[in-house]
Amino acid sequence: EILRCLVGSEMCIRDRLSVLLALLFLLCTAMCCEEFEEYIPCQVTLTGIGKVEHLDNAGSVPVAPVGGVVSRQAYMLRIPLDFEYEKETVEGTYYEYILTDTIANIQIISLTAYDESHPAGTDVNELFMDYPLRQEDQLTDYKYGYMYGTVFYKIPRTLPQAGVHRFKVVVTTRKGEEFTKETDEITMQ
């Protein structure tokens, strides 16, 4: 058996290749784990809501609606949050962003009648859902102390009635701090 291995039988070459691939896998795994240990904790504080925007999601990439008009089926709401970082971040460094106060609640209040069942002033957040595709800056999990994005993307689960719409977004933290921002008008067809 040893003589066959030394001569280079097919079985021995396959075994050597398997061992080599296993060693490469372990080496790569060890290198990846080493990167995760390099994350630097950074405290982050929610300071407000940026400009809330209406988007047209009919194409491959969401874009600003042309002329303030969007199809009800393609409507998307972009809700950016503003944060203050405890330290200046350095590009190429891995940070673990930790919220000083987590988000307890998000409301989307329709300032116009959303549909027959939801008149002006109604919280319609349950009629929206997070955008199903991950985007680079998308914030999907806000109830825990870690932050992985800065923007919420919401699409209607229940279509609004055709007409002019306006919304107010309210974000409340666990400590009771409240941030609000209103949208411009948008016409949905």
pLDDT of residue 40: 86
Secondary structure (H, E, C), the chain = CHHHHHHCCHHHHHHHHHHHHHHHHHHHHHHHHHHHCCCEEEEEEEEEECCCEEEECCCCCCECCHHHEECHHHEEEEEEEEEEECCCCCCCCCEEEEECCCEEEEEEEECCCCECCECCCEECHHHEEECCCCCCCECCCCCCCECCCCEEEEEECCCCCCEEECEEEEEEECCCCEEEEECCCEEEC
pLDDT of residue 16: 64
Average pLDDT over residues 129-141: 70
How does the average pLDDT of the chain come out, rounded?
A: 84
Q: Which of 17-21, 40-44, 48-52, 150-154 has the lowest mean pLDDT?
A: 17-21
pLDDT of residue 169: 98
Predicted confidence (pLDDT) at residue 3 exceeds the cutoff of 80: no
Q: Write out pLDDT tens, residues 102-123.
A: 889 999 999 999 999 999 999 9
Predicted confidence (pLDDT) at residue 185 exceeds the cutoff of 60: yes
Residue 94 pLDDT level (bands cut at 50, 70, 90): confident
- pTM of the prediction? 0.74
Q: Write out pLDDT tens, residues 64-91.
A: 999 999 999 999 999 999 999 988 878 8
